[in-house]
Structure 1
Amino acid sequence: MAAVSLILGGARSGKSRYAEKLATDSHKEVIYVATATAFDEEMQARITHHRQQRNPEWFSVEEPLHLPEIIHEYASASRCLLVDCLTLWMNNILFMTPDMSPSHYVDRLVQTCRTTPGELIFVANEVGLGVIPMGKISRQFVDESGRLNQRMAEIADHVTFIAAGLPMTLKSK
């Protein structure tokens, strides 16, 4: 099984920066897996900004939906895969495959992590700390994201929560 780290935090908490430092500190070849999709101009600007901020030495893969397949394809003992982020991946699942159960995708991801070599770092938003959303799809998104984070935390060797750029260790094996 890969060494799995889960980095959680709110928007602009510093979670991506922390995950990128972990990837750099691994001293392995880093594969950056981005899950964002540009549904509008504002999101396109965010994606462009993220691309410009990435280490130019890292190989990047942009995959909004087929995360287990990408991990299987690129993972090796000599690599560190940084996935940013699981929350956007869940958003893509809900909107791109509305007839599929999100748990199907999550089960495949967990199984892939259990059978993959190397180091895996996942970034995810902690979306359950705010108010309960009013709309059905928004509540489903919060519920499914929370379930995903719990499943990943269960198999992770390390879970870190970031607030105001400061890491708090939640789990360390």
Structure 2
Amino acid sequence: MAYIYYVSGGQRSGKSSYAQRLALELSPKPIYLATSRIWDKDHQQRIERHQADRNEQWVNIEEEKYISKHNWQGKVVVMDCVTLWLTNFFSDTQYNVNQALKEAQQEFDLFTQQDFTGIIISNEIGMGLHADTEVGRKFTDLQGWMNQYIAQKANQAVFMVSGMPITIK
């Protein structure tokens, strides 16, 4: 079974930087598992900024949904991030919260059956502004439920605030 570090926090709270530092402490050649689809030009720029933060020590793998299909045995894997990964399930199920949650939980369980160290990054979007659309409110609920699911399964959990890690588990 995987050993899971769960890193959550708000937007620009320092989650990715913290996770990357931790991964480099644990492995000389960690894997960066990017789960994002490219939705628009702004999002493409965010992806490029994240890629520029990493050097040749990193192995980069892009996987939008089926994170369990790769062989992670004995590796250190930074999954960035649950929010973008979950968006793919939500979108593909035509915004069906229950179906998206079920599919994501099943895929996460398959992912964590391998023997590796995972550093899972997620956003606490429910702590921000109340979504002004029904789809936004549904996704906020979905994200919160998936975060709880992952946090319960994690061996360690850290909440990032203003670049500072707070250990919660």
Question: TM-score if structure 1 supplies the norm length?
Answer: 0.90
- Which residue in 2 is equivalent to 1:34? 34
- Which residue in 1 is equivalent to 2:83? 87
- Which residue in 1 is equivalent to 2:23? 23
Other structure's SS at 2:19 match: helix
Q: Which amino acid aligns with 1:27?
A: S
- Which residue in 2 is equivalent to 1:43? 43
- Which residue in 2 is equivalent to 1:120? 118
Distance 1:113 1:159 in 2: 18
Which segment is superposed worse, 91-100 or 3-12?
Answer: 91-100
Other structure's SS at 2:114 match: coil
* Same amino acid, percent of matched pairs: 31
Other structure's SS at 2:84 match: helix
- Which residue in 1 is equivalent to 2:62? 62
Moved over 3 A (4+): none
Contact 1:68 1:108 in 2 (8 A): no
Contact 2:95 2:135 in 1 (8 A): no
Other structure's SS at 2:168 match: strand
**How many residues in Structure 1 have an aligned counterpart in Structure 2?**
167
Contact 2:73 2:114 in 1 (8 A): yes
Distance 1:99 1:147 in 2: 15
Cα separation, partners in 2 of 1:65 and 1:110, compared to 1, 3 Å: closer
* Runs of 5+ consecutive residues of structure 2 not aligned to the other structure: none
Other structure's SS at 1:64 match: coil
Q: Which amino acid aligns with 2:150?
A: M
Contact 1:110 1:155 in 2 (8 A): no
Q: Does 1:98 align with 2:94?
A: yes
